Amino acid sequence: MKLGLDISGGDFAPKANVLGAILALNHLPDNVEVVLIGREEEIHPILKENGGDFSRLSVVNAPDIITMKDHPTRAIPQKPNSSISVGFELLAKKEIDSFASTGNTGAMLVGSIYKVNAIPGVIRPCITSVLPIVEGGNSIILDVGSNADCKPDVLYQFASLGSLYAKSVMDIKDPKIGLLNIGEEEGKGNLLTQSAYKLMKGSDDFNFIGNIEGRDLFNGKADVVVCDGFTGNIVLKQAEGIYSIAKEIGIEGTYFDRFNYENYGGTPILGVNSNVIIGHGISNDVAVKNMLCLSYDVVESELTRKIKEAFK
């Protein structure tokens, strides 16, 4: 198995990315190789200095960099020698099994849709985030930002995608799907959630448990929380804000530590034809390691094949 990694993306590139790859290989089975995609002349010295295991690491040179300032839709055609463009080329040619990056999220989403394409039947690919549950374990929420405006059938598909992800990658047997809403009863909500509820109710594609409210996000009432990307992004960033405050006021060694992005490493883009994983721009080496471990789990679980089958 070959896991591709963008070495030029993120705030602490290239060093944190290369170190993350070295750390990951200590945790991953022997049949896993990591392909480092970035500036050769920067990668080699870091590998030498830190004892990178060359038998399971290879380097593909990509001299250019898509920065956070590049326009997401124009960046890939404008910079064909960037690490993100090269990564998608390798993925499209099946020379790597997954491609992970902590770089420009917009460019990663655009690359996923134009270079590897949405799975036929999937209206809008989406991204997830982890919700740490107080009693232990995690739920996920989706979409968290790639689709700000959604129609009810798109939310229905998010439920299917989330359910498949929870089953395949998180090993949850019969994931409980909740619709994020502003009341528990059917009929509550805005026009979108009222309609989505009607579609989701009685579905055979997933185990719909009804509406859940903002106060239930962290109590495990649902394993998969479905919402439009606008709402999900606000929820995610509010949680990040709470985590920052807990750190700032010196609360440590508690539940709130579990909001640390480092633990999760990133999210796959659900609903595209290959395995694309995006990480947080502020990722350090531990976060990059976990992004690669997530890449491994996603490839190993054959999530993409399962989604293709479900959407046939």
Contact set with its own copies (CB under 8 A): 134, 145, 148-149, 180, 182, 189-191, 193, 213-219, 228-231, 233-242, 244-245, 248-249, 251, 254-255
Task: Render the burial of 124-143: b for 16+ CB within 10 Å, e for the rest.
Answer: bbbbbbbbbbeeeebbbbbb
Residue placing its CB nearer to its own copies in the complex, 70 or 228 = 228
3-state secondary structure of 65: coil
Supply the minimum distance, in Å, between the C-beta of residue 228 and its own copies: 8
275: closest CA among 25, 97, 32? 97
Supply the minimum distance, in Å, between the C-beta of residue 258 and its own copies: 11
293: closest CA among 107, 98, 56? 98
Residue placing its CB nearer to its own copies in the complex, 25 or 144 = 144
Distance, in Å, from the CA atom of 6 to the CA atom of 67, rounded to the nearest integer, reads 12
To which residue do tokens 């395949």 refer? 168
Residue placing its CB nearer to its own copies in the complex, 174 or 251 = 251
Supply the minimum distance, in Å, between the C-beta of residue 110 and its own copies: 16
Supply the minimum distance, in Å, between the C-beta of residue 188 and its own copies: 8
Q: Which residues contact 4 (CB under 8 A, 6 or more apart)?
A: 34, 35, 37, 87, 90, 91, 96, 97, 98, 99, 100
Residue placing its CB nearer to its own copies in the complex, 87 or 189 = 189
Residue placing its CB nearer to its own copies in the complex, 63 or 72 = 72
- Length of the chain, please? 312
Strand residues in 106-241 grouped as ranges (E): 126-132, 138-142, 176-180, 207-212, 224-226
Supply the minimum distance, in Å, between the C-beta of residue 194 and its own copies: 9
